[in-house]
Structure 1
């Protein structure tokens, strides 16, 4: 991963870390149009509810919302939720497609960032969290927050 000084965070999918247990992360490029790149670099990209699926021999990002950069200068056929191809090495794609065929495994976008004038996406491979796991996680976070609050007062 590039150094933090050369990257600019454009969007983060915080809900994905809550809904899924992320086991591995991958970095990929996204095939975007010029208008989508401008919009993404302006921070207008929304990731919640988006996911990655395999279509043939490639991976595509679905339901990622990139609104138009300039509303009045938008082509009439522009679709903000169109399917976007992910750019990875062929060996990584085959490996991920094999893992996606396992039961319960999902590939979700975690964050989108710009590095050296390129828009990259960090993908998380994981499994869905059960409802009781989510409640337990919330309890742990609340306990940690309470401990920090008491430590700061003393």
Structure 2
């Protein structure tokens, strides 16, 4: 078995410099897993916090399961992240530094288990975002020019 992507957080790469990535498990209810298998999740505006030596993921929206009953889950509840104690203390130390955040980058199934890829991120300023957009535009223009050049040779 491999990895099956559930959802991505493209906005995180636009808003933050991702300095370090790591994988974590999550404590989920049964209807949440069924809903994730249908691909109904949204990582936008979600973040993680460390509280009392435990890591929690906030604002992860998992839509209610279509065929669920009254025991269906709350879509926006706080979910516990499964990390080793050493990882949590390391992250807590880095988060306390000014400007660092813990941001989910993608949600996926790995060997039947739901995993979340977290990133230790530092916020971008407006001029950094503009610079990234300029570089992206230049790369697109260069690739387009190369493509046109190759077509004219044929």
**TM-score where L is the length of structure 1:** 0.93
Matches within 5 A, 1:7-86: 7-70=3-66, 73-75=68-70, 78-86=73-81
- Give the C-alpha shift of residue 23 in structure 1: 0.3
* Residue ranges of structure 2 left out of the alignment (5+ in a row): 150-154
Aligned to 2:121, the other structure's residue is in SS state: strand
- What residue in structure 1 maps to residue 138 of structure 2? 143
Instruction: Report how many aligned residue pairs link the two structures.
Output: 149
- Checking the alignment, whether the CA contact within 8 Å between 1:68 and 1:74 is kept in structure 2 is no
* Residue ranges of structure 1 left out of the alignment (5+ in a row): none
RMSD over equivalenced CA pairs, Å:
1.3
- Checking the alignment, whether the CA contact within 8 Å between 2:29 and 2:73 is kept in structure 1 is no
- What residue in structure 2 maps to residue 101 of structure 1? 96
Aligned to 1:127, the other structure's residue is in SS state: strand
Runs of 4+ in 1 over 3 A off after TM superposition: none
- Give the C-alpha shift of residue 69 in structure 1: 1.4
- What residue in structure 1 maps to residue 115 of structure 2? 120
